[in-house]
Amino acid sequence: MTQVLYGERLGREGKLRVGCSAVLFDAKREKALLTRRADNGRWCIPGGGLEAGESVEEACIREVWEETGLRARVKRLIGVYSDPDQLVIYNDGNKAFFVVLSFEVEVTGGDLGLSDETTEYGYFSLAEMDSMPMHGRHKDRVMDALLGQAEALIQ
């Protein structure tokens, strides 16, 4: 099971990875799409690691497609997130420290469905997220997206 650990400067133990995440809202911008991860059962916004030879925009769009079956278009950069006190430990023992670019995206096509990486999906309000087991600080990224700031946050 993939674990996310928090502690003083734990991130120094992991390899540096760049990730992208996507916040997709419903038509009223009241709820965000979350998927339940197959590896740890926690809820998250779609996202994952950047692959060699792709842009961050391409990675974001690919991850949305792989995890949800939806085609998307990047609208704006919400923020750049790094936490030196967070360490991700994978099932195989690999450790990673992530710098994540989070984008607001809009759906352009496809059909919402499950993948090898997801066991459930749905649109949820911030209040509903309070009672859900969330992966990392994904709720914070949804809250930041709702701020609607023109400039990206750096955290």
Strand-pair partners of 34:
122
Torsion-angle region of 118 (φ positive above 0: left; ψ -120 to 50: alpha; else: beta) = beta
* Tally of CB atoms within 10 A around 155: 14
Asked if 45 and 23 touch (Cβ cutoff 8 Å), the reply is: yes
How many CA atoms within 13 Å lie on the side-chain side of 122? 10
The tens digit of pLDDT for each residue in 46-60 reads 999 999 999 999 999
Query: What tokens does 76 get?
Result: 């704006």
The size of the chain, in residues, is 155
Domains of the chain: 3-147 (3.90.79.10)
**pLDDT 10s digits, 135-151:** 989 999 999 999 999 89
* Euclidean distance between CA atoms 26 and 30, whole angstroms: 7
Q: Tens of pLDDT along 73-95?
A: 999 999 999 988 888 888 888 88
> Which one of the listed residues 13, 51, 106, 120 is annotated catalytic?
120
Phi and psi for 64 in degrees, rounded to 5? Answer: -60, -45
Q: Dihedral angle at the C-alpha atoms of 42, 71, 148, 50, nearest 10 degrees?
A: 60
Q: What is the mean pLDDT of residues 101-126?
A: 97
120 is catalytic: yes
Supply the pTM of this predicted model: 0.91
